Chains A and B, each alone.
Chain A
Amino acid sequence: MKHSLFSLLITAFLFAVSGCSGNSAPTPAAGPAVSEDSGGSAKGDFGPPVGAPINAVLTSPPMVPPPTGRSQPARVIVNLEVRELEKEISEGVKYTFWTFGGTVPGSFIRIRQGDTVEFHLNNHPDSKMPHNIDLHAVTGPGGGASSSFSAPGHSSQFTFKALNAGLYVYHCATAPVGMHVANGMYGLILVEPPEGLPKVDREYYVMQGDFYTVGRYREKGVQPFDMQKAIDENPTYVLFNGSESALLGDNALKVNVGETVRLFVGNGGPNLVSSFHVIGEIFDRVYTEGGSRYQENVQTTLVPAGGSTIVEFRSEVPGTGVIVDHSIFRAFNKGALGMIKYEGADNLAVYSGKEVDSIYLGDKAASAAPVAAAAAATASGTLTLEQQVKAGEALFAGTCSTCHQANGLGIANVFPPLAKSDYLNADHNHAIEVVLNGLSGPITVNGAAYNSVMPPMSQLNDDEVAMILTYSLNSWGNEGGRISAADVAKVRSSTPRPQGAAH
Chain B
Amino acid sequence: MRLPALGFVLMNAAGLVGGVFASDSHVRLPGGEFKSALKYEDTQGKVLVAPFELMRTPVTNAQFLDFVRKNQSWQRGKVVPVFAEARYLSHWSSPLKLGANAKPQQPVVNVSWFAASAYCEAAHARLPTWREWEYSAAADGSRRDARGDPAWREQILGWYAKPSNAPLALVGQTPANVYGVQDLHGLVWEWTEDYASMLVSADNRAQGEQDRLKFCGAGAIAMDDRENYAVLMRVAMLSAMEAANITSNLGFRCAKSRL
Contact = CB atoms under 8 A, between A and B. Distances in A.
Contacts of A150: 240
Given A126-B248, A145-B202, A175 B232 contact: yes
Contacts of A134: 203
Given A146-B202, A227-B154, A130 B163 contact: no
Contacts of A127: 163-164
A128 interface: yes
A154 B245 contact: yes
Contact of B232 (A173, A176, A214): A176
Nearest to A86: B163
Contact of A177 (B153, B164, B205): B205
A146 to B, nearest CB: 4
Most chain B beta-carbon neighbours within 10 Å: one of A83, A132, A214, A226: A132
B150 A129 contact: no
A142 B163 contact: no
Contact of B162 (A128, A152, A174, A214): A128
Given A151-B245, A176-B229, A146 B236 contact: no
B246 interface: yes
Interface residues on A, range: 35 or more
A145 B87 CA distance: 25
Interface string B232-247: 1101110111000111
Most chain A beta-carbon neighbours within 10 Å: one of B87, B163, B164, B232: B163
A157 interface: no
Interface of B is mostly: loop
Contacts of B154: 214, 224, 226-227
A149 interface: yes
A84 interface: yes
A225 interface: yes
Given A128-B249, A152-B249, A228 B163 contact: no
B233 A142 contact: no
Contact of B163 (A85, A214, A224, A225): A85
A134 to B, nearest CB: 7
A260 B229 CA distance: 46
Given A132-B203, A146-B201, A153-B87, A125 B240 contact: no
A227 B247 contact: no
A446 B237 CA distance: 73
Interface string A151-189: 111100000000000000000011111010001000000
Contacts of B239: 130
A125 B247 contact: yes
Contacts of B164: 84, 125-128, 152
A136 B246 CA distance: 31
Interface of A is mostly: loop
A447 interface: no
A130 B237 contact: yes
Contacts of A225: 157, 161
A31 interface: no
B233 A129 contact: yes
A151 B240 contact: yes
Most chain A beta-carbon neighbours within 10 Å: one of B153, B165, B223, B246: B165
A141 interface: yes
A129 B237 contact: yes
A183 B240 CA distance: 19
Contacts of A177: 204-205
Interface residues of B, number: 36
Given A152-B247, A173-B203, A176-B232, A224 B158 contact: yes
A231 to B, nearest CB: 8
A72 interface: no
Contacts of A149: 202-203, 240
A399 interface: no
A425 interface: no
Interface in A78-126: 83-86, 96, 125-126
Nearest to B229: A176
A225 B150 CA distance: 13
A379 B80 CA distance: 107
A224 B151 CA distance: 13
A132 B150 CA distance: 27
Interface string B49-73: 0000000000000000000000000
Nearest to A152: B247
A129 to B, nearest CB: 7
Contact of A141 (B163, B203, B233, B248): B203
A56 B210 CA distance: 31
B247 A153 contact: yes
Nearest to B249: A128
Contacts of B245: 151, 154
A457 B237 CA distance: 65
B34 interface: no
B115 interface: no
Contacts of B236: 129-130, 174-176
B8 interface: no
B200 interface: yes
A152 B250 CA distance: 10
Given A128-B163, A179-B229, A174 B204 contact: yes
B163 A175 contact: no
B83 interface: no
Contact of B246 (A126, A146, A153): A153
Interface of A: 83-86, 96, 125-130, 132, 134, 141-142, 145-146, 149-154, 173-177, 179, 183, 214, 224-228, 231
17 contacts: A86-B163, A125-B247, A126-B163, A126-B165, A127-B164, A128-B160, A128-B163, A146-B201, A149-B240, A151-B237, A153-B87, A154-B240, A175-B236, A177-B204, A179-B229, A224-B161, A227-B229
Interface of B: 87, 150, 153-154, 157-158, 160-165, 200-205, 207, 210, 223, 227, 229, 232-233, 235-237, 239-241, 245-249
Given A153-B248, A214-B154, 4 more contacts: A126-B164, A153-B246, A227-B157, A228-B150
